[in-house]
Structure 1
Amino acid sequence: MSAQEISPKAAAEALEKGEAILIDVREPAEFAAERIHGALLHPLSTFDPKALPIDATRDVILHCGSAKRSGDALARCAQAGVPITKHMASGIMGWKSAGLPTVAVDPATGRLVDPQKG
């Protein structure tokens, strides 16, 4: 199994089509402040590759803030023999740079800002 870095746009397309599960390996406070809609949290600090949802019909794509921690998580998956080989290039920073939406907390009001819910 060789690791594959995929673009944020390719990850977004796979999510939209129901072909992928997105796993965020950032820490809970980062996830709470801003996340990609539909991503599941599995922080690197407590990361257990065997606890990840494996679905034969969908790819599991790991992501973090910039792709460093998701690369580390991929290495842990390989060491554990877990068949996850994809992570998102540039992480959530790349996602936002590509103009893709995130769910965030407005620091001025504490309200959740989710462009998918209008």
Structure 2
Amino acid sequence: MKTEMHGGVTLESWSPDEVQTALAANKIVLIDVRTPQEYMFEHIEGALLMPMAFFDATKLPGQSEKRIVLHCGSGLRSERMAKAAIAAGLHQIAHLDGGFGAWKAAKKPYIGTNMGNGAPERVAP
């Protein structure tokens, strides 16, 4: 995990392995900030959608039990939204370093779209 200080708060950048482990242990809320179209085409199973265009940090769930980890396609949008969450008063926030691209490059499972019938399907590279 990499960290940087932003507004007096530590912003964490998690690796795909760290996110996968924490998600499997039910220790995080994973929020996808990509567009609905990107999410519909492929996404990390269990990730919730809060598109960047409609991102409102005040609507994020409380963090008394689980840390919030944001992700996007490459890590740029999620880092920006994490900084917006810090500016809105959140004190624990993280994002997936490298985004969904890093997730796929690390050969992690996800939900994709079957191009033959348009149905969602689990992809385990």
Normalised by the length of structure 2, the TM-score is 0.87
Specify the SS of the correspondent of 1:95.
helix
1:26 matched to 2:43? The reply is: no
Q: Which amino acid aligns with 2:73?
A: G
Q: Which amino acid aligns with 1:4?
A: E
Q: Partners in 2 of 1:78 and 1:11 — Cα distance?
A: 20
Q: Partners in 2 of 1:49 and 1:39 — Cα distance?
A: 16
- TM-superposed deviation, 1:106: 1.7
Gaps of 5+ in 1: none
The number of equivalent residue pairs is 116
- TM-superposed deviation, 1:75: 1.2
Normalised by the length of structure 1, the TM-score is 0.92
Specify the SS of the correspondent of 1:87.
strand
RMSD: 1.3
- TM-superposed deviation, 1:115: 4.4
Answer 1 or 2: which has greater helix percent.
1
Q: Partners in 1 of 2:62 and 2:46 — Cα distance?
A: 16
Structure-1 residue corresponding to 2:112 = 104
- TM-superposed deviation, 1:84: 3.7
Q: Partners in 2 of 1:92 and 1:54 — Cα distance?
A: 24
Structure-2 residue corresponding to 1:16 = 24
Tell me the alpha carbon deviations over residues 27-54 of structure 1, each in whole angstroms, 9 at most, x when there is no partner: 1000000000000000000100011112
